[in-house]
Chain A
Amino acid sequence: SQKIEQNSEALNIQEGKTATLTCNYTNYSPAYLQWYRQDPGRGPVFLLLIRENEKEKRKERLKVTFDTTLKQSLFHITASQPADSATYLCALDHNNNAGNMLTFGGGTRLMVKP
């Protein structure tokens, strides 16, 4: 069966360090993978999209890698700040003629301590 796994345990790090979150998947062949941030009681907010033929994507302090052989994506936040504390969701596409469909992982909660 298809699975998307993110570490359900909260990740606690010190301000200024690099946070690394993992997304593993099985039985998917996504054309692209997306990362979203979700704050408590709010809708997810898009952060980055990486395509299957891209190894790495960067945006300011964020970096995403995508290894289709390992079936894994890593999401890095460098120089982390308390304001980065949130839940981070990865999502895989299963695009079809009916639109842009995503399946989300359960998310990893990041806590950045000052």
Chain B
Amino acid sequence: DAMVIQNPRYQVTQFGKPVTLSCSQTLNHNVMYWYQQKSSQAPKLLFHYYDKDFNNEADTPDNFQSRRPNTSFCFLDIRSPGLGDAAMYLCATSTRESEQFFGPGTRLTVL
């Protein structure tokens, strides 16, 4: 009965090689989020979708893009990963005013 699923759990990529992380949900929530979390730091919001409306945080690098083809799926594309992009990437969902439900995360390693 997984609610927010992230694939893969671990991703290794090379410096500069595009990578896509995926997230799916069975909760039918209208809001989906992508966070970046580095070791011992707070999760940092990259962007979120309210239904199909995309909202980018002001300090999210252009290197990060996202797609939400339907309610259930959301993708994070990193166009040219740098060493500083190595982190845990967390997907979350929520309704308009409620707690957020997080997936297990994808640990990205950049070689």
Q: Tell whether, in the assembled complex, residue A42 and residue B42 are in contact, meaning their CB atoms are under 8 Å apart.
A: no
- Name the residue on A nearest B107 (C-beta): A41
Q: Which of B31, B95, B102 contacts A44 (CB 8 A)?
A: B102
Chain A positions 59-114 with a Cβ under 8 Å from a chain B Cβ: 89, 95, 97-107
Rounded to whole angstroms, the CA-CA distance of A45 and B105 in the bound complex is 12
Chain A residues lying within 8 Å of B97, measured Cβ to Cβ, are 95, 100
- Name the residue on B nearest A95 (C-beta): B97
Q: Tell whether, in the assembled complex, residue B42 and residue A106 are in contact, meaning their CB atoms are under 8 Å apart.
A: yes
Chain B residues lying within 8 Å of A106, measured Cβ to Cβ, are 40-42
Q: Which of B42, B53, B88, B98 has the most CB of A within 10 A?
A: B42
The verdict on B75 contacting chain A, using a C-beta distance below 8 Å, is no
Rounded to whole angstroms, the CA-CA distance of A8 and B41 in the bound complex is 9
Q: Would A43 and B104 be within 8 Å (CB), given that A102-B45, A106-B41 are in contact?
A: yes
Rounded to whole angstroms, the CA-CA distance of A14 and B28 in the bound complex is 41
Chain A count of residues within 8 A CB distance of the other chain = 23
Rounded to whole angstroms, the CA-CA distance of A21 and B100 in the bound complex is 21
Rounded to whole angstroms, the CA-CA distance of A110 and B2 in the bound complex is 27
Q: Tell whether, in the assembled complex, residue B98 and residue A100 are in contact, meaning their CB atoms are under 8 Å apart.
A: yes
- Name the residue on A nearest B57 (C-beta): A101
Rounded to whole angstroms, the CA-CA distance of A34 and B30 in the bound complex is 20
Chain B residues lying within 8 Å of A101, measured Cβ to Cβ, are 45, 48
Q: Tell whether, in the assembled complex, residue B43 and residue A98 are in contact, meaning their CB atoms are under 8 Å apart.
A: no
Rounded to whole angstroms, the CA-CA distance of A60 and B18 in the bound complex is 46
Chain A residues lying within 8 Å of B107, measured Cβ to Cβ, are 41
